[in-house]
């Protein structure tokens, strides 16, 4: 059970990292929108 939890946590961290990088990339290109504000 612990191994499954660890693997889910790693997947979630990787996804969050990718999402934040994507958000940062779009923020640097475009003006900040209300949707971006919700997530940061």
**Residue range 15-28: mean pLDDT, rounded:** 81
CA distance 36 to 16: 14
* Contact criterion met (CB below 8 Å) for 36 and 27: yes
Supply the pLDDT for residue 35: 60
Strand residue runs (E) in 1-40: none
How much is the pLDDT for 22?
A: 82
Residue 14 has pLDDT above 70, yes or no: yes
Cα 11 from Cα 4, distance rounded (Å): 11
Mean pLDDT of 10-30: 80
């Amino acid at each position: 059970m612990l191994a499954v939890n660890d693997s889910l946590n790693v997947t979630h961290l990787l996804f969050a990292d990718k999402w934040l990088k994507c958000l940062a990339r779009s923020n640097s290109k475009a003006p900040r929108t209300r949707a971006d504000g919700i997530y940061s």
